[in-house]
Structure formats: structure tokens, C-alpha cells
Structure 1
């Protein structure tokens, strides 16, 4: 058998393994309790387990480590069975087994092993906080939606093919699903901000958070609220315009996920639009803060599966339409398709155009016009919804803001292309 040379990196790896055992063991030592129910597993047990894992991996690789892990698992199972009447739980036993494996992992991937040990220690330390959060703060709906989001990201995403396929070679299932996950995540983030902040800062934060789900729907809702309660007019105006900030942020995220070359030529345009919308919204937020604070808002659900799936269908349809028009009409077809799609959803149009850049059918600069065209037609939709609210003071305040935002977007694009 070859001798083991304990020099250089191996010594450091053993040190990391020992540190892992001491870190986790120190936390368990503090939780051992006292009296007859006192746990026998403390800092020495965990430090020994980590070193045992490191030595096992050094001597026999993953095979010996697996044998030792099975042996330790068997011993902990026997100990658990003998102490069933005391209801000891399995946390410490599971942590001990994981510590053994982390000791072995430290000999191959010390950075990963150290990181996992820190996460494990945090989980063990935060026992009371986690139990309180899950049992008293987290609702059933929030838990279910969290599981749905986790399944979408961790189970379904790896199964999605990462290649263009279908008619006109226009659809990339992985890209479409990434966008859906982003929409779900942003929606959940908006829900969380509303729940944490409540109505203390009123309709502006509600509009900004809700805009991540649908800016057009948010503007419509804000218009209805302003028409119903005149004292909330300026807060509703701020919320309506700030929902456009969410549109810009969402556009930036989906472009970054789809094709970064497209984002690189549009970042100035999006930045100009975002800054303009933010400034306009902040002005009316300051005005609204002098008025009566709105009552608590209905949070709804963190994630809407229907909305996410409809968005996926919209993205797919627009991708197909854009690819078809591009093949039949050339570059003018892409502009027409994006403009038409923008009346319904500007993000799906942006994804479709960026996908054309990703497949090399158009270059990044040629994506500017169709994406801005979709933003323009989407602004028309928002303006119509604003008018339909029936509150002309609301209309007179919101529409100028929408116009300023789209003009800023076009000015930013013109500057980026060298027209100024």
C-alpha cells in the first residue's frame, strides 16, 4: 500500500475537516441539555466523525467512506431505537452522519465542504426561529407556492432541453422555463415586500410590487381605486407610474436571461426609462405621503400558476410569430411582430426578439427597434386603461408620466446608436 504524504495541501484539508467537526460539534454541545436525557453527542464526537471521514477517504476513497458511513448510520439507528421513549429526534444523528461525509468531502473539495458545514450550523442554530416561522408566520398558501417555485426551479428546469427547436427553429424550452421561473420569483418577491411593509408607505409600494406581476393590470387597479376614493389620488398615481419601473426591471432581467448581447445595446435606453419613471413616481409619492395612509391591501397569492403558464404560452406564441414574420418579411417582420405583441405583453416580445439575436438571425443593434416598438405599443395599452378608469385627474397625471418614460427610452436608444 502506498504511504500517505501528509505535506502541503493534505494537511490543510485535514485541518478543514477538523474545523468542520469542531464548528458543528460546538453547536451541538450547547444543545446537549442536562440530566438523564442529556445527549451523548457533543463537540468531541463530531470532531472525531469529521476526522474519521477524512481518514476514510484518504485510505480507501469513496468506497471506504461509504462503508464507514453505513456503519455509523447503523449505530445511530440502534441508538435511536434504544431511546425511542425519550423521543430524541433525528437532527443530531443526521448531523453526525453529514459531518462524517463532509470530512471526506474536505479531502476533495474543501471549499464546498466548509460552505456546507456553515449552512448546516446555521440551520441547527436557527431551530427556534425556523419552527416559529413555519408554524406561526408562514401560511399554507405561502408554503404551497414556495414548494411549487422550488419544484419549477430544481426539478423541471434541469429537464428542459437547452436547444432551439420546433417550427422555424424558434423555441428554446429552457429559455422559456427560465423566464417563467423569473416571473414567479419576482411575483413572490413583490408579495413578500407587501407583507413585510404593509400599508405604511401606501399605494406607491403596492404599485411597484404589483407591477412585477402586471403593470397594465396595476394601472387599471390604481385608476379604479383613485376613482373610488379621491383622497388616494396621488398615491394611486405614484403606484401606477412606479409599476412601470417594475416593467423596466423585469425587461432587464428577462433580457439578461435570454441574450446578454441584446441587453448590452439596450441598457442605456432601459436606464433612461427607469430613472424617468422612478423620478416621476417619487414626486407623487412625496405628495401622497402628506395624505391619509391607505388601509391594508389584499395580498392575494404569492405565485399564480395560471399567470406563469399563460406567460409561457404567450412567450412561445410570440417567438413563433416573430420567427415566421422574420423569415417571410425579413427584419420588418420582426418589428411588426414585436409591436403587435407589445399591446398584450412587452416582455414576451423582448424575449422573442432576443432569441432571434441568440440564433444569429438578426444582430443585437437590429433588436433595438422592435423591442422599443413593443414598449411603445404597451404604453398605448396602459394609456387606454388609464382613460378607462374614468378619473380625469388620474388620467391627466399618469399619461404624461407614461409618455415621458417612453420618450426617455427612445432618447436613450438614439444616444446609444450615436444620433446625438
Structure 2
């Protein structure tokens, strides 16, 4: 009996063997340009019932194919004029669409005309064999068209400070980062590498910040706490504790939010470990105790059946794209990486464990610093992982202090009881993992 998949593959290969390379090349480009036009055209056609568009699925598909064929002829037959004429034609068509919509029908908008010309350009890219760029462009534009109202609502809800902070941060990414020296200072500091890590971590936090703003208070405090832990678990804990103190009825749900923010903080640290050490060695050595502690956090919330989904409030947390938190992380990361390097030289691996106390301030900075040293070969991945996990456990303990300072006594008692249990679970898991590593011989060495 023939395997159907093998038979189909063989039949396809046999059929393609009869197709000459020129025809195959043309068909490949034709199909891809058609699919790109259909992708964006379907989204436009979907809105045709509202009367908001003047070009649908067929028009967009034809525009993409036209761009590909005009460019193909221009390349193969050395006739660039046909590409210029086709481009001018679609510029005129796009202009007419914009004119009719805005002047004749008195509707405001230029997206349709721009999208049509964009599809034409994607066809041109396909003809030049920039397949990946064309696909990425098509997917990005389709997303922007689909998420029109979501993006509009998000932009409206941004305040002036958040916009200013985002602009400043983009200046750091696109202007400061390229001119930052890519050299090693004091045997361990690479300014460009440090700035790159800061940008990546802040970007990850900012995405979480956007998700929290997008979900809004209607999704509940526990969801905001869950996402807030990715942004800044300390700030989230303080905000929830203050909220519960102001409105006693929100104490239980704020309590859940604090625990969930701690859980996502633990997950965030594992992600950071992988970012600074792409080999994954530090992450692998972190996983068992870190995952167990994360599961204990989530399990504590799941066990409590009194989650109230009807308590809605907004958490005020500073945007991680603001320069202040970004530079604070950069400063902490730099100081800790220097300390880790020299503590390792002066006192060996045991000296590096002192850095775990930095978890009281920022377990993310501790994880990033020891992970970077491990990736650079200045610290064993096992030691880096153990320091990072210990910093996470210590960071778990600081939630008790934060709640005592910002929250009510009743919430403090609840959090203290629960987090002492979590710290005990983390400590036991940590010690058992050390035994497994050094007695069982699981240590990853350089």
C-alpha cells in the first residue's frame, strides 16, 4: 500500500518537473501576489456593507497582481516605462477614491486609497523576490485595518505624558542605541549590550502595560494584577494595597491581584533569563524551583473560591517607557553586573549569592545581571540560575513589606500569612534543587 502523503508529494514533484523554471517562477510570484491582494481585500470587503469603502476584494487582488506583472515585464523585457505608467495609474485611482469619499460622499478618511496603492507596491516587492518583506507588510497592514477601532480607542486614552515618554524612548532606540560604543569596559561592561537589554526588558514591560490599559477596569482587578506583575510587581502590589485600604470591599480581590502579580513576576524573570542568555542554560537551571513557586502562587488563588469578578477599578502604574524607570533599571543592572563580576573574582561563586539581596529592589535586574555574566562566560550558568531564583524568592518576601507600608492591617495579615507559605515553598524547592544539582550531578558547567 502507498502512503497517501508520499504519493501526493511524488505526484507534485513529477508535475513540477514538466514545468520550465521561467513558468514556475512566474506562477510562484503570481500566486503570492494574488494571496496578498486577497488578504487585504477580504478585510476591505468585510466593511462594504457599511458603505465605508470603494474598493473590495477583487480590486485589491487585481492591484497586487498588476504590480507584480508590471514589474515582472519591466525586469524581464527591460521595459521600465510600463512599471512607471502602472504606478502613475494606481496613484490616480487612489487619489480619485480619496476625492470621491471625502468630497462627493463627505466622509472623512484616506485609508482606502492608501491601502490600494500599498497593495500595488507589495506586488512590486513580490516581483523583485522580496517575499518576506511583502508578506510582513501585508500582515501588518491587515492587522492595522482590522484593529481600527481598538487602536483609535487606545490612542484616545493615552495621556500627554505617556506619549512624550514613548517618543523619548524611541529616541533612545533609534538614535542613542546606534551610536553607543560597542566595547567592553572594566572587563565586563558593554554599553551597547546593557542598553539593548534595557530596551528589550522595557519593551516587554510596555507591551504588558498596553495590555493592561486595553483590558481596562471592566476585566477586573485580578486581571490587572496578573498583567501588572509583568510591568512592575512592586508597583502593582503597592497600588492594589492602597486601593484595598481606600475601599475595604475590594480587599479580597486586591489580595488575589497581589498574589497573581507575584506569579507573573516569576514568569517574567524566566523570560529575562532567556533574553540575556539565549543559550537557555540559565533558564533550564531555573525552571524546577521557579515553576514550582509560580504554581504555588497560582494555586493559592485558585483554591480561594471567593474571587469577585464584579469589582472594577483602574490601577495607576507608571509607564515603563518613561525614562525614569528605564534608567533606574539600567543603573541597577550595571551596578549589579559589576558587583557580580568582582564578587565572583574575589570570593568565588559563593560571593555572587550576596547579589540575591538585590531582589528586595529588583529581581529582574539581578536576573539580567547574573544571566549576562553567565552568557559571557564569567559565571557558571548553575550559579547564575541559583542566584536568580534566590532573588525571586527574596522579591516575593518584599510584598509583605510593601503591603504593610501601603495597605490596611487586615490585608497585611492576609498577605503575610500567604506569602510566608509561598516563601517556605520556595525555600524548600530551592534547597531540594541545590541537593539535586550538587549531589545528583546535574550542574551545567561552562
What TM-score results when the alignment is normalised by the length of structure 1? Answer: 0.77
- Map of 1:2-401 to 2, 5 A cutoff? 6-21=22-37, 24=40, 46-47=60-61, 49-61=63-75, 70-76=84-90, 80=95, 87=102, 90-107=110-127, 108-110=129-131, 112-114=133-135, 116-117=137-138, 119-121=140-142, 123-124=144-145, 126=146, 130=148, 133-134=151-152, 138-141=156-159, 144=163, 148=167, 151=170, 155=174, 159=178, 165-171=184-190, 173-174=192-193, 176-190=195-209, 192-193=211-212, 195-196=214-215, 198=217, 201-202=220-221, 204-227=222-245, 229-259=247-277, 260-284=280-304, 286-289=305-308, 293-300=310-317, 302-305=319-322, 306-336=324-354, 338-388=355-405, 389=407, 391=409, 393-401=413-421
Distance in 2, matches of 1:368 and 1:132, equals 40
Task: Measure how far apart 1:313 and its partner are.
Answer: 2.0
Q: Unaligned regions of 5+ residues in structure 2, if any?
A: 1-19, 104-108, 441-446
Distance in 2, matches of 1:12 and 1:109, equals 13
Distance in 1, matches of 2:314 and 2:152, equals 23
Structure with the greater relative contact order (CA < 8 A, sep ≥ 6): 1 or 2?
1
Residues 49-84 of structure 1 show CA distances to partners (whole Å, capped at 9, x for unaligned) of 434433444444499697655444444555638985
Task: Measure how far apart 1:359 and its partner are.
Answer: 0.9
Distance in 1, matches of 2:260 and 2:435, equals 24
Would you say the 8 A contact 2:70–2:86 is kept in 1?
A: no
For residues 274 and 53 of structure 1, do their structure 2 counterparts lie closer, same or farther at Cα, with a shift above 3 Å needed? same
Would you say the 8 A contact 1:69–1:100 is kept in 2?
A: no
Task: Measure how far apart 1:317 and its partner are.
Answer: 2.0
Task: Measure how far apart 1:16 and its partner are.
Answer: 2.8
Q: Unaligned regions of 5+ residues in structure 1, if any?
A: none
Would you say the 8 A contact 2:244–2:408 is kept in 1?
A: no
For residues 22 and 368 of structure 1, do their structure 2 counterparts lie closer, same or farther at Cα, with a shift above 3 Å needed? closer
Task: Measure how far apart 1:22 and its partner are.
Answer: 5.5
Task: Measure how far apart 1:275 and its partner are.
Answer: 0.5
> How many equivalent residue pairs?
407
User: RMSD of the TM alignment (CA)?
Assistant: 4.3
Would you say the 8 A contact 2:238–2:403 is kept in 1?
A: yes
For residues 92 and 313 of structure 1, do their structure 2 counterparts lie closer, same or farther at Cα, with a shift above 3 Å needed? same
Task: Measure how far apart 1:262 and its partner are.
Answer: 0.7
Would you say the 8 A contact 1:219–1:240 is kept in 2?
A: yes
What TM-score results when the alignment is normalised by the length of structure 2? Answer: 0.73
SS in 2 for 1:240: helix
For residues 73 and 402 of structure 1, do their structure 2 counterparts lie closer, same or farther at Cα, with a shift above 3 Å needed? same
Task: Measure how far apart 1:150 and its partner are.
Answer: 8.4
